[in-house]
Structure 1
């Protein structure tokens, strides 16, 4: 089957890229990986390894994994996701060893920052999963994130409360979702077009408000208070795990809860069964008494509220104020996470974390003075997105009625 060869093809491409690192530009010296931070229960010793040796070891292991994937494709079998994940870890380890030769890489800081950067992507992906499970393609995730960031900044600045800003972000996400539902569900407009138009509309509106209103009144309207970091007692002191997962802001903890609740509700509750039925076979759902239109509306609005929380992350955690087009197309990466995760909340979350890691690598390597060109690092998240969706997602089937308006006969 031709589709089975996508995975070994992408793995081979990454293997070649890792090998080129030492063939074209070998790095002398050792790479040090730091695993401890202040406040840990005990310190884990730094690990120092020869950079070129690690890269060549990674190349050999990647070749083995690629050959195994190719053999599976030749035999008509899919390569298990665990093999692909192990390949990715080895390839990334080889690249990082090469990039930090002669320097020290704070691994915990890299992973904690990746988690923080992935928060809006995770909330956006959860919103995308819910919408598409109900049969509505949500291209407007980026608009929901951006409008949520705008609403959070303005409201938190006026009220002096980040909690008020968070609620406003959810309302802004719901407003964008309401427009999406109005055109896509009620008036049967092509959903992809509606989503793109809504993204452009939000960009235009927020850019106008930023230049004409916020810039002139930055102190009163664009200086939001931020959520502080909250350390969970005992758990925050566990080496490696504690600083990454339990020394975060409240929005990260809300993300943990949201992932669990959405996954449970979608697969273990009567509500989730109705949502999935509406997305797979709306006519059959209507026949057994499910209100298809109402279910789609409620789900899309809930998805908008969740995506709005992701937007609040930008202005209530990450940056000091709202900026023009500050999401940088994160909504489209969140949409890619939905596809990469095969419309499953857990898998979509893992995909979003992968893209968050790719985004944070650039920042960390810049701080430690790695020689990797900044232009390459800036495009890394998008390159990872393209390769992941095009080559590693494998066979994936969207909900049968995804993007199909329901016209009751």
Structure 2
């Protein structure tokens, strides 16, 4: 029972980890990207579009090539997320638009984009069920290690996931190392704390913001791809993501902008999100209340961090503020 709960919590938390890692990298540059839910949505639908046309090009499911079945949706997801990141950067860095408004607009656009093309693909398959099933592609994404089933609870907790789950953990650890142990990470944090000082020191503020935000958007988009191809078994249905994008943003605050802490934080959030499924006899109203737990925990942590008011637990000083070089 416990092993099953932890396994489900990890699977639920991986999309949040992708989203939170991407947002932490973005926010460390001073950009507050509230468009993460929309970017994750676009990352998911872009991968679905690539997988859909690849599967339809096959004479039979047995003809599928593992490399193409994985690389085509992966590249489509990366491209879609990258375009969304570029749009956000163009508006907020180049045109200096308000970051909060732009982020919310990106989320609205991303969800609308996903629902439009998702609905279009559903009409193409002419199915009675309002969803698309990409089982062939999903099977490749969900392939686990061959000896996972023979190692009992250990295999169930640590080895029973598709490769994207391990990619999420590696990216979180890599992001933590980059931010804290490299010169590039130091420059990025300097831009996020005080862009005027970083500019005076010869660091390109615009380039740093563009790179951090676009790479962060790509990482977040992979969370959408994981959700569809792994967690949802290759089934796309409009508005199926729920509030996972917002949970990823809440996770950033919960782990206090520390990517490494996001690994355990995502599992905790995933567990809190599904714990009601493991409590027998809960009425529907109470189940909905349990889904609020990750947000309640985030609010409590935010209050405690604000009371302690330690610099290392705060976000970047220039977070959400546009940089005007003329005012330096």
Task: Choose 161-170 or 237-246, whichever is displaced more.
Answer: 237-246
CA distance in 2, matches of 1:311, 1:254: 14
2:236 is paired with a residue whose SS is coil
Maintained 8 Å contact 2:132/2:237: no
Structure 1 residue aligned with 2:66: none
1:233-255 superposed Cα distances (whole Å, 9 cap, x missing partner): 5x775553331121110111111
1:371 is paired with a residue whose SS is coil
How do 1:212-227 residues align onto structure 2 when only pairs under 5 Å count?
213-218=120-125, 222-224=132-134, 225-226=137-138, 227=141
Alignment partner for residue 118 of structure 1, among 13, 16, 19? 13
Which structure ranks higher in relative contact order (CA pairs < 8 Å, sequence separation ≥ 6)?
2
Q: Tell me if 1:172 matches 2:85.
A: no
C-alpha displacement of 1:130:
0.5
1:323-343 superposed Cα distances (whole Å, 9 cap, x missing partner): 112211211110000011111
Maintained 8 Å contact 1:361/1:377: no
1:32-79 superposed Cα distances (whole Å, 9 cap, x missing partner): xxxxxxxxxxxxxxxxxxxxxxxxxxxxxxxxxxxxxxxxxxxxxxxx
Output the aligned Cα RMSD.
2.0
Structure 1 residue aligned with 2:230: 317
CA distance in 1, matches of 2:262, 2:253: 8
Alignment partner for residue 400 of structure 1, among 281, 300, 317? 317
Structure 2 residue aligned with 1:181: 89
Structure 2 residue aligned with 1:385: 294
CA distance in 2, matches of 1:353, 1:385: 11
Maintained 8 Å contact 2:273/2:294: no
C-alpha displacement of 1:378:
3.4
1:91-125 superposed Cα distances (whole Å, 9 cap, x missing partner): xxxxxxxxxxxxxxx11111001101111100000
CA distance in 1, matches of 2:209, 2:149: 40
CA distance in 2, matches of 1:278, 1:232: 45
User: Could you state the TM-score of these two structures normalised by the residue count of structure 2?
Assistant: 0.85
C-alpha displacement of 1:348:
2.8
C-alpha displacement of 1:232:
6.4
2:161 is paired with a residue whose SS is strand
1:300-325 superposed Cα distances (whole Å, 9 cap, x missing partner): 00001101110101221122322112
1:315 is paired with a residue whose SS is helix
Structure 1 residue aligned with 2:213: 300
Maintained 8 Å contact 1:126/1:303: yes
Maintained 8 Å contact 1:145/1:173: yes
1:346-383 superposed Cα distances (whole Å, 9 cap, x missing partner): 22332222111122323444xxxx101233223423x2
- In structure 1, stretches of 5+ residues that fail to align are 1-105
1:258-315 superposed Cα distances (whole Å, 9 cap, x missing partner): 1111111111111111111110111111111110000000010000110111010122
Structure 2 residue aligned with 1:197: 105
CA distance in 2, matches of 1:237, 1:272: 41
How do 1:4-403 residues align onto structure 2 when only pairs under 5 Å count?
106-160=1-55, 161-211=69-119, 213-218=120-125, 222-224=132-134, 225-226=137-138, 227-231=141-145, 233=147, 239-319=152-232, 320-365=234-279, 370-381=280-291, 383-393=292-302, 394-395=304-305, 396-403=313-320
Q: How many residues align?
A: 297
